[in-house]
Amino acid sequence: MSGSGFGKQFHITTFGESHGVALGCVIDGCPAGLPLSAEDIQVCLDRRKPGQNAAQTPRKEADRAEILSGVFNGVTTGTPIAIITRNTSQRSGDYDALKDVFRPGHADFSFQMKYGIRDHRGGGRSSGRETVGRVMGGAVAAKLLSEFGIRVEAYTLSIGDVQIDKEHMDMEQRLLTPTGMPDPEASKRAMELIEQCRKDKDSVGGVVECRIGGVPAGLGDPVFEKLDAMLSHAMMSIGAVKAVEIGDGIAVGRRFGSENNDAFREDSSYVNSITTATNHAGGILGGISTGGEILLRAHFK
Amino acid sequence: MSGSGFGKQFHITTFGESHGVALGCVIDGCPAGLPLSAEDIQVCLDRRKPGQNAAQTPRKEADRAEILSGVFNGVTTGTPIAIITRNTSQRSGDYDALKDVFRPGHADFSFQMKYGIRDHRGGGRSSGRETVGRVMGGAVAAKLLSEFGIRVEAYTLSIGDVQIDKEHMDMEQRLLTPTGMPDPEASKRAMELIEQCRKDKDSVGGVVECRIGGVPAGLGDPVFEKLDAMLSHAMMSIGAVKAVEIGDGIAVGRRFGSENNDAFREDSSYVNSITTATNHAGGILGGISTGGEILLRAHFK
Amino acid sequence: MSGSGFGKQFHITTFGESHGVALGCVIDGCPAGLPLSAEDIQVCLDRRKPGQNAAQTPRKEADRAEILSGVFNGVTTGTPIAIITRNTSQRSGDYDALKDVFRPGHADFSFQMKYGIRDHRGGGRSSGRETVGRVMGGAVAAKLLSEFGIRVEAYTLSIGDVQIDKEHMDMEQRLLTPTGMPDPEASKRAMELIEQCRKDKDSVGGVVECRIGGVPAGLGDPVFEKLDAMLSHAMMSIGAVKAVEIGDGIAVGRRFGSENNDAFREDSSYVNSITTATNHAGGILGGISTGGEILLRAHFK
Amino acid sequence: MSGSGFGKQFHITTFGESHGVALGCVIDGCPAGLPLSAEDIQVCLDRRKPGQNAAQTPRKEADRAEILSGVFNGVTTGTPIAIITRNTSQRSGDYDALKDVFRPGHADFSFQMKYGIRDHRGGGRSSGRETVGRVMGGAVAAKLLSEFGIRVEAYTLSIGDVQIDKEHMDMEQRLLTPTGMPDPEASKRAMELIEQCRKDKDSVGGVVECRIGGVPAGLGDPVFEKLDAMLSHAMMSIGAVKAVEIGDGIAVGRRFGSENNDAFREDSSYVNSITTATNHAGGILGGISTGGEILLRAHFK
């Protein structure tokens, strides 16, 4: 396999290149009976759409989601859900200059070494546009998880040296700022930094944090399919991610066990009446969820 | 599946609990014709053995590797290689006090929530002894990789606030110091820290770094099976790891692209006559190896 | 997963329902560098198209293959190849009468029991139209195999009690007769039988035979991934197939070993200078190809 | 992978050669809480043991099952269950004559072509002794299924031209006759045939039938993971099997749909109050169980 599938029960396969005919996702294993419409996917595609603001690549793509299968009378049937979006700006000519160039920091060279051939138009399959298929799968996954009260919230923690103020962050704002930062003031400074980078023909890294709430205790498998191992796999598979942290992450290596451990305490508001006083572990122990909030960070170059 | 398998072509399945009858590993997919003896595995088992020094859990285990299948006349036959080691100190009684206790920072609670039952003896399957099976599989993998000139070298970078001096490290020493540090002086200080922790009934975190040399350009798959994603999955699946970095890792999120990118340059000593002037990316671009040294770090609590 | 994927190195995922928006296939793992056009797939889709003649369901479908990804400048790039065809006759109304009916011999009842919901239009995902995705994947597989000199030829052996005359069969004819029989005379009688069935509002079973030539010795894996086991899996996964035979198939159970075994003989025209005097085994021994012709039969109700 | 694993939720990996150190099975995915002892596996190993009577290879093997992991205080813990049995008669010397011989009808030649090396002692991994690992896995599976009221009963239907009398078969007898036939009279004649074969240095084929009762409607997945496709895969992966039938099997290809279809009828004794008047389909429609008895046959050379 060429590595375009992910997941066990809920398995997605994505396809499509930056300047090919279409990008898409096939979801195999979504349970029957979930209400699903193209609009559910569209909301998420719109959120990832570049060119909305000065922060991202200024390319115009309609990115209209079309569901090809797996939904009947507005609900899923348990059969595979195929979703596509057609590329509307296939201006291959724009990229002819890149045909014989290996861009530093990109996958041009490694793809050429692996396949002996590559779609040089905008990076082809290695383009950031590859995430369109992930967003489609993620939109369906998020809808399914919400049926079980599980909420996934991701936001930008920092861009270059501009960090959000965690004491005063407003989660609603993450969907409104052009940077995805839940802090309009930090977002404004980050946009200025990005604008300066653009002028300098440079780019800048950043960190995304993700919180998953409502996860019951007992999810995940031991040993090689630990919940944190699967999440790290998924995060690191996103282009440009070079580090992943769970809970307190890299801080744990410098600390004592007495600082890293979370004491259990009784709390009848939890299903099992047990929770932890702190959450250094990020909601996962031994690869299995504890019922606490799952916390992870991905570092992008 | 309960998550005890890993790998595609070279697939391992591990089994065994801390105080069960035996621990082991089945390797399915090792090519035929590789010279292999129990001694090859024993060397690696000895290296992980606790109780060698004051740095680790003072438990005595003989851990003798026995090959049950897959090897005929001293070479692999292409059929599954099963390797086991019997537990010699199954003192279940020692752990009766833990039967009804959920230890903070351990998997006792999450296992109980998942399975409704658990082997409380020394953590059972969630014990650090689970890595015996990994070491067996790794010993065979390392031998196979060495046939292709690929060298995997891991060492301890830091323990608590004690770091090695990267300017003067001596890789031979990593196999001689009780800490795995390639720096005897730092190792001595780390041992003092560990000894103090033991007195305080505490523990301390640390960081392990791994360098993989001799990897040809073009290995790994795009999208979900990126080489760095697979390596992160594997690293994060080791108990107590809370963060994984590739190349410059978390540093990239604070930097500009011009700092993170590695310029290509011609060098006829490389197979493809192309290498990079720097290696911020840690030998992987777009999830595929570049031919440069692969560098990763795992942060343990 | 809901079972819509098949294959290890060359992995296909199919999707689509009989009267949904589109049917399709994503091929993950096709090597880079294979010349491929929509026409290559169209030839195979046309061959499976019903309504060509009186022998099959008289439904008109254009079934135009469209390649969405994975092909650049006329050759595959190693990235996933998505192919779709849109359904042009989505006359759901035609099937309203079937909404509350479980048709005997169909999957209506079992799907309802599994999912609690079903797309009743023409059987939905359980329709024979599901094979459109397989044909797309098969078209690419056949083109890839032909690069290695491997030829796959399937034909109808019998329909009801009408059998072809194996002494005088003409393989070219299998693509010309409406029944797929390589024997025009038998095909004519089979068509009369089918026409009578249609008048009687009945249907009739049949047997398809497949020969695979040019397979080198040594393909397939032992134990659970035997080549014949994988082929049986694939054959039995086709709707209405109730029996699969390899080589002499059911005849072997009534015979002596001396009758079933194929004596080896030297023949310099074979790569390894070894072949068998007979081929009762159908080209597979111990689940691994022998270099002889692979022969299998699928029995349809 | 070298093909030694099978199953998705309940996954087994087998290992071991005919004359190696040990044979075994690792079961990954067995739920926690199932009572399990070595005796449960021993009963099944004893049943497959050759040398019990004149019908099988007259080799003496103690085949004592030892559980290495996954069971604590007499019940499964959800972690992998490893089971082994040591080979007691590793008389390699007996097989030296076979070192340079490709036995017709065996896997010697195809293994040599695939691996370039082979364990020639008694066929190595391709020996019938490989089924020891399957029997171990099957013993645990059968125990687990019995908790859900699912019964798997297999018996010998015919050996050469000797068939059981299906009108008068006695299922208890299948465990008592040396042939596994539920018909002592037919078994006696079959034993005479086998004895004659032995004198003639020949062997003889046979057919095994399997009935699975108590299966609820709705099990199995559509398309490529149809329940009958998975069962055929499993059956055909057993050495010497050359044909697999579900329900009426090969008979369906010669019949009309009106003969093959099973009319539904109401019957309040079934969970869903629906069953079929006949069971030509063998309990599976569209790859999903109907609630009727599953019936399959494997033809051995």
Q: Output the pLDDT for position D88.
A: 86
**D156 φ, ψ to 5°?**
-80, 125
- Comparing CB atoms, the residue among A22, A32, A114 nearest residue C69 is A22
Q: What percent of chain A has pLDDT over 70?
A: 93
> Mutual orientation of helices C38-48 and C131-147 as an angle, nearest 10°?
130
C18 and chain A: CB distance < 8 Å anywhere?
Answer: no
Residue C108: alpha-carbon gap to chain centroid: 23
Rounded mean pLDDT of chain A? 92
DSSP C175: G
Which A-chain residues 136-155 have CB contacts (< 8 A) with chain C?
none
**Touching chains, C (3+ CB pairs < 8 A):** A, D
Q: What is the pLDDT of residues D174-226, one digit of tens each?
A: 999 999 999 999 999 999 999 999 999 999 999 999 999 999 999 999 999 99
- Comparing CB atoms, the residue among D1, D107, D261 nearest residue C285 is D107
Which D-chain residues 73-112 have CB contacts (< 8 A) with chain C?
102, 104-107, 109-111
> Mutual orientation of helices A227-236 and B227-236 as an angle, nearest 10°?
160
Q: Output the pLDDT for position A121.
A: 87
C270–chain A nearest CA distance, Å = 31
Provide mean pLDDT across the span D87-108: 79
- Comparing CB atoms, the residue among A8, A24, A80 nearest residue C68 is A24
Alpha-carbon torsion angle C278, C284, C289, C292, nearest 10: 20
Residue of B nearest to A260 (CA): B301
Q: What is the pLDDT of residues A94-142, one digit of tens each?
A: 677 778 788 999 999 999 999 998 888 888 999 999 999 999 999 999 9
C216–chain D nearest CA distance, Å = 9
Cβ of A77 within 8 Å of Cβ of C32? The answer is no
Alpha-carbon torsion angle C275, C281, C285, C286, nearest 10: -170
Rounded mean pLDDT of chain C? 92
- If phi > 0 it is left, if psi is from -120 to 50 it is alpha, else beta; for residue D123 that is left
**Touching chains, B (3+ CB pairs < 8 A):** A, D
Residue of D nearest to C226 (CA): D237
Contact C8, B29 (CB under 8 A): no
Helix (H, G, I), strand (E, B) or coil at A85: strand
**What's the pLDDT band for D4 if we cut at 50, 70, 90?**
very high
Is C218 a residue whose pLDDT tops 70?
Answer: yes
Q: Output the pLDDT for position B97.
A: 73
The whole-angstrom separation of Cα D225 and Cα A129 is: 32
Q: Output the pLDDT for position B164.
A: 98
Rounded mean pLDDT of chain D? 92
**What's the pLDDT band for C54 if we cut at 50, 70, 90?**
very low
Kindly report the pTM of this predicted structure. 0.95
Provide mean pLDDT across the span D25-46: 97
D182–chain B nearest CA distance, Å = 36
- If phi > 0 it is left, if psi is from -120 to 50 it is alpha, else beta; for residue D286 that is left
Name C178's Cβ contacts closer than 8 Å, sequence gap at least 6: C52, C53, C54, C55, C56, C187, C191
Cβ of A13 within 8 Å of Cβ of C80? The answer is yes
A239 and chain B: CB distance < 8 Å anywhere?
Answer: yes
ipTM associated with this complex: 0.94
B42–chain A nearest CA distance, Å = 22
Q: Output the pLDDT for position D52.
A: 56
Q: What percent of chain C has pLDDT over 90?
A: 80
The whole-angstrom separation of Cα D98 and Cα B283 is: 49
A28–chain C nearest CA distance, Å = 5
Q: What is the pLDDT of residues A48-68, one digit of tens each?
A: 886 455 455 545 558 999 999
D114–chain B nearest CA distance, Å = 9
**What's the pLDDT band for B271 if we cut at 50, 70, 90?**
low
Is B54 a residue whose pLDDT tops 50?
Answer: no
Q: Output the pLDDT for position C85.
A: 97
Cβ of B246 within 8 Å of Cβ of A262? The answer is no
Q: What is the pLDDT of residues C71-130, one digit of tens each?
A: 999 999 999 999 999 998 666 666 777 788 889 999 999 999 999 988 888 889 999 999
- Comparing CB atoms, the residue among C21, C28, C117 nearest residue A69 is C21
Is D98 a residue whose pLDDT tops 80?
Answer: no
Cβ of A11 within 8 Å of Cβ of C1? The answer is yes
Q: Output the pLDDT for position D121.
A: 87
State the sign of the Cα–Cα–Cα–Cα dihedral A152, A157, A160, A164.
positive
Cβ of D223 within 8 Å of Cβ of C125? The answer is yes
The whole-angstrom separation of Cα C157 and Cα C182 is: 8
Is D271 a residue whose pLDDT tops 90?
Answer: no
More confident residue, B58 or B267: B267
